[in-house]
Amino acid sequence: MHIKDLKGPGDLFFIDNGLQVLVFTKVWSFFLPSLLILVILTPTQIRQHSATAQDASSSTPTPPLLAMLHSALGVICDSALNILEWILISGVGSQKLRINLYAALLNYMHIVKGNRDKSEQNTESVRDEFYVSRLDKSLAAGRTHEVGGDESHAQIEMVVEIVQSFGDKLIDILCHDCTGGLDICKMLALSCIDMLLDMDSMANVIQFISKRGYLSHLIDSLLKNDGKLCRILDNQPENMKALYVYESKMAMLSRIGSSHIGAELLLEERALSVLAGMKVFDLHPDFQVQNYSTLYPTSSSFIPPIEARYQQILFPALNLCDVILSTLGQENHSAVTQVINFLLSHGDMIEIVLRAGTPFLNIGLLRELAGITGLIARAANQEISSLITPNANQDIGAHLYRLQKLMLTLFPRFTLSDQTLKELNQNVLTNCSEREKAAHLKYFLQIAANLALYARNSISNHSVDHRTINVLFSPQISESVHHRQVTGAALETSHSLNIVVIQLKTSVEYFNREKLSYESLVRQRNSLPSLSLDANVQIQHNNLTERIADKQEELKRCVFITEHCLYLLWAHLDFFMLRAIPVNTLHFNLSYGADNYLSSQTEVGWKITADDVAALKKTLIAIFNETFCKQLLATGQQGTDARASDKGFIEALLRRIKRLIQFVPVK
């Protein structure tokens, strides 16, 4: 039988088993070049056609090349159907054949998914989330036609229908290859499931994976491979296979956790408890502050440096915790409990990162700090100690108290003051490219936002009496903090309300300054020719678009920091002026919220007098002058993606703060 005589995938198996891979390679060699060309051309042609159609009349005919590409995509769909049939009828021992089939399937899904991603990037209707992204695709199914890109979504629906038409047998084969066989086959099978769930959150597939025991097996295998991951952090590891398989497993688990039912199943299987028991996370490399901003240190070897290898292990774990919290919400006690247990189980590593945190770290370490502070901030609430095992409350309270002290110590280090930004530019960003500077500033602002979020979550109470809050900051406001130099060493300051006021002022100033830069970039992009074929113009347009997107993220985070600092200030003023004034001296001790770990910080015995509150009021009257109030209101109204429901938040808080500092009598 000749290759040209093959009429279907079943004909492959009339040939001797030893020739199956050879035959498949021969057949695929004719198909792969066309596929790769389509990978490159299809998104580009569709994007260019969409851009042209916006400027041209509605009667513009479809370009012949675009029509040909759409027709070719239909042919590829038939080929994808044949690939899936090959996967079904291939034998268990055909690992090498499966590797090629999975690679072909992944290429096809990348084409379809790439088209959808491009269409969604060009729409603005899904850009109204800042901190938590839309993760659950099942909730987004109803808005497919609202965001545009009907054609790309139709292609995805077609792929999902093709996969579902094969029933559980196809998923069973994929899961079987995820748990056994060659490492490369495991990785490709895991990636296929990951990609399928990214296209559509198929609850029946997730339930099948769980009921058949594959999910439990994958989670248990993480702990079994802990030793191999530890050896990855040796100076000269034998190979990197364990790391790559681990990354593939964690990517698939994170994708499962992005749906509500998947996140609940991960909690039932105690996935985060398994991560808590892994020793590899405690093997943090020596934390050295280095004055460079490259993403990773340069290395002539194929094997990345040990810092990069550790981060490749740590970031997927942090991402899985973050995904579960995003999907189930902070009100889910089981999710919060398991995340806190993960953090406390690796408390030494967490403390090392927090203690050494400064704005002058390299990007890799700064990204670590951003991930850890974000997870701590989102898991923080007043009821944490009561959620954990009651018998361990005292010990857990001590650990949480140390975390709180470290987080509050970081707060003044990441203020947006001119002094900090000047030192950052002089000491770290001098020889960096624009892209590296934007990345460094991104993580700097992300950490500042995480610290503000942590403070807000720590004082907020979700009980019936919402006025019962914890007080983190003393009312003393001193200008000395303005003149303190932020260095790599620990910055020891009392946690006063002055830190919040400084961050509020500097974030508003930074927003108004960078808003002008953002508008200038938009004008530069609009001045470029819209229908130019010059490659330099296209490159300049793409660079400006990327810089505008980065600047938008900066402005969003500034608004986020401003809102949270304003809330912190109002909550503390509300307590100090309405509940602390009736007594001459108020001692904070463990009698206030004795069961709450947050009150532990008051063991030193704060003394708050009426004179302190009067001084606070006098200082705030000077700060909240007419000019600053106008800038503050402009921050809320001019946010790049401000929703109508959010625009009144800053105005309402400002009105309450001004009422407190103007009308509450203080002697």
Residues 112/127, Cβ–Cβ less than 8 Å? no
> Which residue has 């997730």 as its token pair?
206
Asked if residue 262 is part of any domain, the answer here is no
The candidate with the shortest Cα–Cα distance to 655, out of 640, 638, 642, 636, is 636
Label residue 324 by pLDDT band (50, 70, 90).
very high
Last residue of some domain: 183, 200, 217?
A: 200
Identify the pLDDT of residue 73: 58
Residue 225, pLDDT above cutoff 50: yes
Mean pLDDT in the chain? 76
Asked if residue 238 is part of any domain, the answer here is no
Asked if residue 569 is part of any domain, the answer here is yes
CA-based radius of gyration for the chain:
28
Give the DSSP H/E element, type plus range, for residue 70: helix 64-89
The model's pLDDT over 245-298, given as tens digits with 9 standing for 90+, comes to 999 999 999 999 999 999 999 999 999 999 999 999 999 998 754 433 444 444
Asked if residue 374 is part of any domain, the answer here is no
Tokens matching residue 436 = 């590296």
CA distance 282 to 279: 6
Domain hosting 518: range is 413-667
Asked if residue 234 is part of any domain, the answer here is no
Q: Residues 330, 332, 333, 339: is their CA dihedral positive or negative? A: negative
Select the more confidently predicted residue: 553 or 613: 553
Identify the pLDDT of residue 350: 95
Identify the pLDDT of residue 130: 40
The model's pLDDT over 457-475, given as tens digits with 9 standing for 90+, comes to 988 765 444 555 678 888 8
CA distance 111 to 84: 16
- Is 609 strand, coil or helix? strand
Average pLDDT over residues 79-100: 81
Residue 432, pLDDT above cutoff 90: no
Give the count of domains, the chain. Answer: 2
**Cα angle 394, 395, 397; round to 5:** 65
The candidate with the shortest Cα–Cα distance to 315, out of 250, 242, 265, is 250
CA distance 374 to 326: 12
The model's pLDDT over 536-587, given as tens digits with 9 standing for 90+, comes to 888 888 889 999 999 999 999 999 999 999 999 999 888 888 776 554 444 4
Asked if residue 460 is part of any domain, the answer here is yes
Last residue of some domain: 184, 200, 216?
A: 200
Residue 150, pLDDT above cutoff 80: no
Last residue of some domain: 181, 200, 219?
A: 200
Asked if residue 639 is part of any domain, the answer here is yes
Residues 372/304, Cβ–Cβ less than 8 Å? no
Identify the pLDDT of residue 467: 54
Could you give the percent of the chain with pLDDT greater than 70? 67
Asked if residue 12 is part of any domain, the answer here is yes
Could you give the percent of the chain with pLDDT greater than 90? 35
Label residue 193 by pLDDT band (50, 70, 90).
very high
Please state whether the predicted TM-score (pTM) of the whole model is above 0.95: no
